[in-house]
Structure formats: C-alpha cells, structure tokens
Structure 1
Amino acid sequence: MKKIITLALAVLAAGATVTTPATAEAAAIPRGFLLYEKDAAKKDNDPETNWTVGNSAKARLAVNPCDRRTLAATGRVAARTVTFTGVPDFMKVEQVILYGSRASAASAVAQVRAALVKCAARTDSGASYRYASSRLTGLGDEALRISGQVHYGRKAGVGGDRSVLVRKGNAVLVYLWAGEYDKPAKGDWSVQLRDARRMTAKICDIAACG
C-alpha cells in the first residue's frame, strides 16, 4: 500500500518545479494571482512542511491517473502550480493553466475524462489505487469532482486524493488535496470546491471567457 500511495503522491508533486516568476509563461498570469501564492511566499521554518511555486507551462497536470507528462499539455501558453506538502503524506495543489484557445482547453478536459476511464485502477502488491469522477454543475463551463483511493479488494484503505477540475473559457483550474483518507465522503471536497469557486469568479480577468 505504501508503494502505491508514494507513487500517487509522486505523480501529484511532479508539476511543482520551482522556477522564477519572470519566465515568459508567467507573464500571462500575474504574480500573486493564485489563491495560495501569498501563503507560499511566507517564510516557513517548519522542517515538516514545504511550499513550492512552479511557472512552467510544461508542468505535469495535477490530476493524472495514467501518469503521463503529456496529459492535457498540448496548446498551453501559461501555467502556475502552487504545492504544499506536509509530513507524513499530506499535499495540496493549486494549478491554473491557460491554453491558446477555448477548444484546446476543452480538449484538455476531454483527455482527463478519457484518462480517468483508461487508468481507473492501478494495482500493486495486492492493493489498487482507483479513480472515480462525477460532473459538477454550475461551476465554469464544465467541471469534474475526482477521487483517488487505495483499495484492498472492495474495501477502501488509507491513502487517497480529492480534487476539483474546472474549465472556464481557455483556462483549466485544479484544486487537489491528498492525504490519509478513508472511503470518499461528501465533505472531502469542501475546501477544494470553495477555492475553485473563488478562482472561477476571477479567472476571466486573465482568460478568454467570452
């Protein structure tokens, strides 16, 4: 089980490379635009917690069931990923990606849906890491609520992630938490939904939504 959880968290963390905010990709996303950038900028002396901010448009999508760096990568023009990690295995990710067109952004979401079907389960050492998703209404142009969870047979084990993915115009947003979860419960997405609504309400300041 530990191997599966570690693999899942490694996939999520892969997009959190640290770069300077002066890159060309970052120019389309103003510094401080993401909700958690202010927290990430604060000095953190706790050795068990860490913030990273990445500005690469090639960053791995935070929700990535098939562990493919190319998932939803085509057509990007800018991206920013803010990641918080805490001992022993808690993680939260905020990711905002701008595509060159609304069609490219819609294609990216379609790729995520396909990956959730194709790679719905990953098995290792008698345990599996399973994904499930459902559509969300009233949030952006399209949105998904996604869960990943360790299972032993039909029983949920410790280790999972909960995310909300939203497309608005040519922008795709991801808010993800990963940590010690039992089987998915409705309240697991409360913070991610709150953050996704806040970002969706202002994303048209930098995205093509009309």
Structure 2
Amino acid sequence: MSRKIIFTAALLAGTALAGASPASAAAPAVPKGFLLHDREVATDQAKKDEPADAENVWRASAKVGERFAADFCAHDTVIASLPKDRIGQTGRAAARTVYLDVKGETETAEQVILYRSEQAARAALGQFRAAVEKCRQSEVWKSGSYSRTLARVALGDEAWKSSAREYEDGGPVAGDDVVIARRANAVIVYLASASAKPSARSYTQQLAHTRQMLAKICQIAACAPQQG
C-alpha cells in the first residue's frame, strides 16, 4: 500500500471520529461528576477522615439496575404484580443516582438513566406512569390514608410531576414531590421528601434542577440534531 493511500485512509477515519457525537462515539455512560449533586458527594468523601455525620449522608450509585429514585407507591403489597425493582429496567445502558439520607431516610434524590434507545426510555416512563395511576389512592385505614398525584409538565420530550402523601388524622405526615422527565434516550428524576400539603411551590427546586439537567443531557444522551 502506498503512503498516499495510507494517509487518505487515516484522514477519513479521523474525520469520521471527529464528526461522531459523544453518544455515538462510545458506549452510553453517566460519568462521575455529571449529576448536579455529585459535588456534595465529593465533599462528603473528602471529609472521610473526619467524624462521620450519621444523620446526613450523601451517597452515589452507578448501578445500572438501581430502581427508580421515585417510588410509584409507598406499599409493596398494594401492587404485588408490579415489583418496584422491575419498573423501567428493560433496555438500560447506564445510570447514576445520588441520594441524601437523613436519619436513614431519603431526603433528596437525583437520577439520570440512559437507555439503549429512545423507545426503551419512553416505555420505561410509561411503566412508571401506569404504576402511579394504579397507586393514586392505594391505601386507607381508620385514622389515615396514602395517595399519589400525577400531572403533565411542559419540559423535555415529556415530563411529569407527582406528589405522594401519607395522612394521619387529616394532616400530612410524610411523602415526597417528584419531577421525572425524558429527553431522547435519557430519563431524569429529581425527588425531595415532604410533609406539608402539596402546592404549586412543592416542585420549585425539582423543576429548576430538571431544567439544568435537560440543558446539558445531550452531552451524553443520543439527542437528534437540532434543525436550524
């Protein structure tokens, strides 16, 4: 093979690589440091030589099979046919989840999941919505009840907000407010625990964080080129 042919082949290969998008040039991944709360995890880890704060712990998981950070229901026995650890699992390629645990309970959660295709991501979000629908009014007892709401949000390719509350003697005692969104083959989850009645302000931080993540998710997701 002549030097000219070798040079031409190398040039073509280099051009192809240069034009490849981050999502297509390598296997899908959610890199450490990509999540908004990864800095809090790093700060906690930097303090590993100091006495541990047992009540406030930031932790991260890169487990692809991590269950959705947003529970569709509070009680496993209510929807036995839809185990929590199976919702949205099919077609996953990568995931990263960050939690803030306070006294052993999840106070804050952030999650980015990449699926092998947009179709798989859409199906996963559909499974979550269907499960929430079955758990809207999941349990009622003598002095209280549990329920979850679901409403559409105009973000990304599709997004939903959902509030869960457990009521005792007519007042809310525990719950969470969640925003879950999809862009292309990526699903994004932001959750915060809550004990007050849901209101328009319940999702302020989650919506802000979702917008921040949607603004950069195409760095790792297989987003279609924008028409200009």
SS at match of 1:51: strand
Instruction: Give the letter for the 1:39 counterpart.
Output: E
**2:107 maps to what in 1?**
91
Q: Aligned pair in 2 of structure 1 residues 200, 110: CA closer, same or farther (>3 Å)?
A: same
For the residues of structure 2 that align with 1:111 and 1:131, how far apart are their CA atoms?
16
Give the corresponding residue for 1:160. 175
1:1-210 paired onto structure 2 within 5 Å: 28-43=29-44, 45-66=52-73, 67=76, 68-87=84-103, 89=105, 91-123=107-139, 125-126=141-142, 127-137=144-154, 139-152=155-168, 155-179=170-194, 181-210=195-224
- Please tell me the residue identity of whatever aligns with 1:142: E
Deviations 1:35-93 (A, max 9, x none): 00011111354221011100111001112224511001100000011000123856100
Residues 133-185 of structure 1 deviation map (CA, whole Å, 9 limit, x = unaligned): 10001x100000110001248x3421110010000000000000014x22101
TM-score for both structures, normalised by structure 2: 0.74
Q: Deviations over 1:79-131 (max 9, x none)?
A: 01100012385610000000000000000111111011112233265332211
Q: Aligned partners of 2:127 and 2:104: how far apart in 1? A: 31
Distance 2:146 2:66 in 1: 23
Q: What residue identity is the alignment partner of 2:198?
A: P
Distance (whole Å) between structure 2 residues aligned to residue 193 and residue 116 of structure 1:
19
Q: CA RMSD in A?
A: 1.9
Pair 115,76 (structure 1): closer, same or farther in 2 beyond 3 Å: same
Q: What is the aligned length? A: 182
Residues 64 and 71, structure 1, Cα contact 8 Å, conserved in 2: no
Alpha carbons 1:131, 1:146 under 8 Å: kept: yes
The residue identity in structure 2 corresponding to 1:158 is V
Q: Which one-letter code corresponds to 2:30 in the other structure?
A: I
- Return closer, same or farther for 1:89/1:78 CA change in 2, 3 Å cut-off: closer
Gaps of 5+ in 1: 1-25
Q: Please tell me whether Structure 1 or Structure 2 has the larger radius of gyration of its CA atoms.
A: 2
- Which residue identity lines up with residue 38 of structure 1 in the other structure? R
- Scaled by the length of structure 1, the TM-score of the pair is 0.80
Alpha-carbon distance in 2 for matches of 1:191, 1:198: 11
CA contact (8 A) 2:145 2:167 kept: yes
Q: Distance in 1 between matches of 2:63 and 2:104?
A: 27
Q: CA deviation at 1:188?
A: 1.3
Distance in 1 (CA, whole Å) between partners of 2:181 and 2:121 is 10
CA contact (8 A) 2:28 2:93 kept: no
